[in-house]
A and B are shown apart, each in its own frame.
Chain A
Amino acid sequence: MSVSEDSKNLIIPGDILACERDNQTVDIIGQGIYLSFENHLYNNNKLYPTHVGIENYTTKNNKVIATLDYNSKRYIPQQGDYVIATVTNNYSTHFLCTLNNFSSTVTLPYANFPQATKKNRPKYENGDLVYCRVKTVDTDLPAELECMDSETGNKDGFGLLEQEKSKHTAVLDCSLAYARELLFNDKGFPLLSDMVKKNLSFEVAIGVNGKIWISTASLLETLCVYKILSKCEKSNRDSILQIIEETVTEYVKE
C-alpha cells in the first residue's frame, strides 16, 4: 500500500500522519515532521507532525519524501537545508552564526570549508552573510553548518555573500513558507521569472531560514526588487504582475 501523492490533508500536531497510519516507509523527512527515537531498540520509530500544515508526499529517485507544508516565522534548523547565516562571533575552531533573529546560535566550523587546513582558514567578519547548508542537527548541541558538499568536497556555490563595490546588495526577512515557495516551486509560483521578464536584472540567494539576499547594479533597483519581494509575500498570486509593474514604475522610472 502506498501513500497517494496527491493526498492533501490538513494536519494538526497530535494527528496521525497518513504514512504512519498506512505503515508506509518514508526515506527522507522534510520540514514539519519529527522523527521520534523513543523506541530505538525495537525499531519502531514514529513520525510526528510538529506544526499545523498540509502533508505532502513526493517520490524522487525511488525515495519517498514526506514534508509538512506550514508557515512560520521562526526557523528551526533541519538537516540538509540551504540557509543564509549571519556570522556573529569567531573562535579558534569555528564561527558562531545565527539563522534567525532572537534565536540560539549555530556553529560553522573551519573544517567544513573546502580545502580546509589548519592554516587556511576563512576570514569572515562579524555581520557577514554566508550561504551554507545545515550539516547536522542534534537535540542537545547547537546545529552545525557546512560551506561545501561534504560528499565531494566541492565548493558548490556556498560561501560568503559578497558586497561588491559596484553592486548594491540587500537582505530581506520573510516567512519560511514564502522562502520555500520561491526556492522550490518556481513553476507554481513564478515570481522570480516574472520579475526577470520585466527586465529587472538581479542576483538572488534564498535561504529557507527566511532570508533573501538581493544584489543589483543600482540602489533603486535593489529597493525595487526588495519592495516587490516583500509586497508579494502578503498578496494574491493573481496580482503579482500588477505589483511588479506598479513597483517598477514607482522606483525605476525609465
Chain B
Amino acid sequence: MAKDLEISNIEKKFIFDLLASSQRLDGRKSLLEQRNLNIVITPNKFGDIYIEYKRLDGSIATRLHCKVTSEVVKPKAQRPFEGTFFINCEFNGLAGLNFENYKVGSNSDEFYYGRLIESMILRSNALDLEQLCIIAGLKVWNIRVDVHVLEFDGGFLELASIGCMTSLLHYRRPDVTVRNEKVTVHSFDEKEGVKLGVLHIPIALQFNLFQLKETAEIIKSNSSIENNELVALDCTLKEDLLKDGEFIIALNKNREIVQLNKPGGLPIAALKLIQFAHMALPIIEEITSKMLKAIEIDERQRNKYGHLLSAENDRYAG
C-alpha cells in the first residue's frame, strides 16, 4: 500500500535551481551549512542518547535514538582475546511512510550505512575490543548499539556516527571480578561502572554531489569533467533523492582519515579528495567538541554531590 516519495519534475528543477544559486529549501543560505546539531543525553542512564538535527525555525528534522547494551558472550574462535561489537540500524514506519513495509536487504540504506559505521569504528580500532575480554576464549563482553530513526529528513549517516560515538563514550558497562574462573557481574549499586575503551572519535561526513552539466553535453563539447559538480553537506530527504553521487569520509580530530568511500555516481577529480578532507576537518572538530561538551555537562549533573564525598583538602595556591 505505502508507496515511495514521488517528486514531480517541477519540484526537481526548483530544488536544483536553488542549489545552483546556493539556496536551500529549508532556509539555509549555503550549500556547506549544516543544520543545528543537538545532543540529548537521558539522565540516570548510561549510553542512552537522542540526537537530532534542528531546522532554522526550531522544528526537528531528523531524530535518532542510540542505545548501548552489553552482555557476556562466548568470543569468536579466531579471536579469543577480543570482545564483540555490533551496530543495529533500524528504519521503520515511524521515520516516514516510505519506510513502511520496507525490506531490510543487503542493498538497503540502513544495512549499507550500518555496516559503514561499524567498519569505521572497528577497523580504525576506535573501540578497544581487547579491554572487553573477561576470560580468554570463554567469556567476553558483547557491545551492541541500537540506532532507531524516530524522525527522518536526511542526514542519517552523520547523525548515526555521532550518536554511536557519543553513546559509546558515555556508556559504562558493569564491573566484573574473576575469581577461580568464576565471573561475578556487579550491579551499579555494588561497584561503579567501567567506561569503554574509546581510543579516538571518528565521525563520518557525507558530501553530496550534484551534476551541473549533462554528461552528453560534456562529451560533445569535449571539455574536462572538472568543476562539473555542486557539493552540498547535510541534504534533506528530497535533496538526497536528487543527488547524483556521494562521497563519504570519516575523520577524527587528530587529522587521521579513517575511511573513504565513493560508491559510484558522479566522477570527481582525484585532487578533490584532499580538498574534501580539508573541508571536513573543521566540521569534525566542531562536532567532536560539541559531543565532549555534552558528555561533560552530563557528568557534572551526575556528580552534583560528588564534592561532598571528597576527602580532598582545600588548597590555596601560594
User: Measuring CB to CB, which residues of chain A are less than 8 angstroms from any residue of chain B?
Assistant: 86, 88, 98, 101-105, 125, 127-129, 161, 163, 168-171, 213, 219-220, 222-223, 226-227, 231
Q: List chain A residues, Cβ under 8 A from B23.
A: 219-220, 223
B210 → chain A closest CB, angstroms: 16
B1 → chain A closest CB, angstroms: 6
Q: List chain B residues, Cβ under 8 A from A171.
A: 8, 10-11, 14
A104 near B14 with CB under 8 A, answer no
Q: How far is the CA of A86 from the CA of B9 in the complex (A)?
A: 9
CB closest chain-A residue, reference B21: A219
Give the most central of B10, B17, B18: most A CB within 10 Å. Answer: B10
With beta carbons under 8 angstroms apart, the residue of A98, A104, A125, A170 that contacts B1 is A104
B5 near A223 with CB under 8 A, answer no
B8 near A219 with CB under 8 A, answer no
User: Measuring CB to CB, which residues of chain B are less than 8 angstroms from any residue of chain A?
Assistant: 1-14, 17-18, 21, 23, 25, 27, 57, 97-98, 100
CB closest chain-A residue, reference B98: A102
Q: How far is the CA of A102 from the CA of B100 in the complex (A)?
A: 9
B3 near A128 with CB under 8 A, answer no
Closest 8 CB pairs of A and B: A102-B97, A127-B9, A170-B14, A86-B8, A169-B10, A102-B2, A129-B8, A127-B8
Q: How far is the CA of A244 from the CA of B27 in the complex (A)?
A: 15
B3 near A102 with CB under 8 A, answer yes
With A102-B3, A102-B97, A163-B13 in contact, do A223 and B18 touch (Cβ < 8 Å)? yes
CB closest chain-B residue, reference A231: B57
Q: How far is the CA of A168 from the CA of B18 in the complex (A)?
A: 10
Q: List chain A residues, Cβ under 8 A from B17.
A: 168, 219
B18 near A219 with CB under 8 A, answer yes
Q: How far is the CA of A220 from the CA of B14 in the complex (A)?
A: 11
Question: 30 A-B Cβ contacts within 8 A?
Answer: A86-B6, A88-B6, A98-B6, A101-B3, A101-B5, A101-B97, A102-B4, A102-B97, A103-B3, A104-B1, A104-B3, A125-B9, A127-B7, A127-B8, A127-B9, A129-B10, A161-B10, A163-B13, A168-B14, A168-B17, A169-B14, A171-B10, A171-B11, A213-B10, A219-B17, A219-B23, A220-B23, A223-B18, A226-B25, A227-B27
Q: List chain B residues, Cβ under 8 A from A219.
A: 17-18, 21, 23
Given contacts A101-B5, A102-B98, A219-B18, 11 further A-B contacts (CB under 8 A): A86-B6, A101-B98, A104-B1, A105-B3, A127-B6, A128-B9, A129-B8, A129-B10, A219-B21, A223-B23, A231-B57
Q: How far is the CA of A189 from the CA of B134 in the complex (A)?
A: 69
Q: List chain A residues, Cβ under 8 A from B57.
A: 231
Q: List chain A residues, Cβ under 8 A from B12.
A: 127
A163 near B10 with CB under 8 A, answer yes
Q: List chain A residues, Cβ under 8 A from B1.
A: 104
A216 → chain B closest CB, angstroms: 11
CB closest chain-A residue, reference B24: A223
CB closest chain-B residue, reference A74: B97
CB closest chain-A residue, reference B5: A101
A102 near B5 with CB under 8 A, answer yes
CB closest chain-A residue, reference B12: A127
A248 → chain B closest CB, angstroms: 15
Give the most central of B9, B27, B97: most A CB within 10 Å. Answer: B9
A163 near B98 with CB under 8 A, answer no
CB closest chain-A residue, reference B2: A102
Q: List chain A residues, Cβ under 8 A from B10.
A: 129, 161, 163, 169-171, 213
B96 → chain A closest CB, angstroms: 8
B308 → chain A closest CB, angstroms: 48
A101 near B6 with CB under 8 A, answer yes
Q: How far is the CA of A128 from the CA of B6 in the complex (A)?
A: 11
A48 → chain B closest CB, angstroms: 23
Q: How far is the CA of A96 from the CA of B147 in the complex (A)?
A: 37
CB closest chain-A residue, reference B100: A102
Q: How far is the CA of A104 from the CA of B14 in the complex (A)?
A: 26
Q: List chain A residues, Cβ under 8 A from B2.
A: 102-103
A158 → chain B closest CB, angstroms: 17
Q: List chain B residues, Cβ under 8 A from A170.
A: 10-11, 14
Q: List chain A residues, Cβ under 8 A from B100.
A: 102
Give the most central of B8, B57, B100: most A CB within 10 Å. Answer: B8
B9 near A163 with CB under 8 A, answer yes
Q: How far is the CA of A101 from the CA of B7 in the complex (A)?
A: 9
Q: List chain A residues, Cβ under 8 A from B7.
A: 127
Q: How far is the CA of A107 from the CA of B27 in the complex (A)?
A: 35
CB closest chain-B residue, reference A163: B10
Q: How far is the CA of A32 from the CA of B25 in the complex (A)?
A: 32
Q: How far is the CA of A219 from the CA of B57 in the complex (A)?
A: 22
With A102-B97, A103-B3, A163-B13 in contact, do A128 and B18 touch (Cβ < 8 Å)? no
Q: List chain B residues, Cβ under 8 A from A105.
A: 3
Q: List chain B residues, Cβ under 8 A from A220.
A: 21, 23
Q: How far is the CA of A169 from the CA of B17 in the complex (A)?
A: 10
Q: List chain A residues, Cβ under 8 A from B18.
A: 219, 223
